[in-house]
Amino acid sequence: MLEKEVSIMFKSLDPLLHSELRLAVMSILISVEEADFVYLKEQTKATSGNLSVQIEKLSEAGYIDVERGFQGKRTRTVCRKTEKGVEAFQKYVEALKGYLSL
């Protein structure tokens, strides 16, 4: 009985979300319809390289959609959360609560 309680104590934390920058990106995208590279960079204070890599990972995982297009003549990369991304985020938050006793 005790063992059963124990086994549910610490759910594993999705490694894709358990990363400071990727979590920040998802956090922003959850609360907003879309956000472009420049905006995400400002908000997270990440370097371009790091942000580029982490966006790519979230995209590969299917947690966000990335659309590379143009704003006038300049390139513009726009990101949006996916259904899958939202679910993963919610699940991550629930799992994390087990660690924080929230």
Partner DNA sequence: ATAATTAGGTTTATAATGTAAACCAATTTA
Partner DNA sequence: TAAATTGGTTTACATTATAAACCTAATTAT
CA distances 36 to 28, 92, 96, 99, Å, are: 11, 24, 28, 32
74 binds, among DNA, a copy of itself, none (CB under 5 to 8 A by kind): DNA
Q: From the list DNA, a copy of itself, none, pick the one residue 48 interacts with, judged by a Cβ distance below 5 to 8 Å according to partner type.
A: DNA
Does residue number 64 form part of the binding site for DNA (CB under 7 A)? no
- Position 86 contacts a copy of itself (CB under 8 A): no
Sign of the torsion formed by the C-alpha atoms of 44, 47, 53 and 56 = positive
Length of the chain: 102
What is the contact surface with a copy of itself in residues (CB under 8 A)?
6, 9-10, 12-13, 18, 20, 23-24, 27, 30-31, 42-45, 93, 96, 99-102
